[in-house]
Amino acid sequence: MAEPIVTKFLHTRMRVNDLERTVKFYGEVFGLEVTKRHESPRGSKLVFLAVPNSDEEIEITYFPGSGPVEVQEDLMHLAFEVDSMDTFGDHLRTIGVEFSDGPTESSSGSTFAFVDAPEGYEIEVIERPKD
C-alpha cells in the first residue's frame, strides 16, 4: 500500500463578520477554548479553537476586505457529540440559546439537533445511543 498523501486533518476555517461574538458563542455554547490568536500577513485576524477530545481545531477568521459573510442555508455544518441531549438542551436554555432544529431521533437510535452560529453556520449536536 502506498504512503498516504495526507497524514492528518488539522482544522476547518470559517470566516465571520464579528470575531469576538463568534469566539464567545463557541466558548459559551460548546465549551471550546482559544488555543491561539494571530494576524496573517494579509491582515486576517485568526482565532483557533480547541475541540474537546480531538486533535482538530476550528479556525475562525475575520477579514473585512473580503466583504460581508453571508452563509447560505445548508452550505455546511460542524458536528459535535454530546453525552445527553437533554442536558445540552438545559445548558442552551440557561444561556438563552435555542435549537434551530430538533432534537430528532434517527432510525439508528441517535438523537440529533442543530444550533445556528452567529453568521448562520449550522452546528449539529448528536447523542449516540447508549450501549
| Domain of residue 21, CATH code | 3.10.180.10
**8 Å CB contact between 52 and 8:** no
Give me the number of domains the chain comprises: 2
pLDDT for res 75: 83
Is residue 124 among the annotated active site residues?
Answer: yes
Global confidence as pTM: 0.90
Q: Do residue 57 and residue 77 come from a single domain?
A: no
Q: Do residue 16 and residue 57 come from a single domain?
A: yes
Active-site residue, from 28, 59, 119, 124:
124
Phi and psi, residue 76, nearest 5° = -165, 165
Q: Do residue 79 and residue 126 come from a single domain?
A: yes
Q: Do residue 89 and residue 52 come from a single domain?
A: no
pLDDT for res 27: 97
Q: Do residue 51 and residue 18 come from a single domain?
A: yes
**Would residue 51 count as lying in a domain?**
yes
**8 Å CB contact between 15 and 61:** yes
pLDDT per residue over 39-96, tens digit each?
Answer: 999 899 999 999 999 999 999 999 988 889 888 888 889 999 999 999 999 999 999 9
Q: Which domain holds residue 120?
A: 73-131
pLDDT for res 8: 87
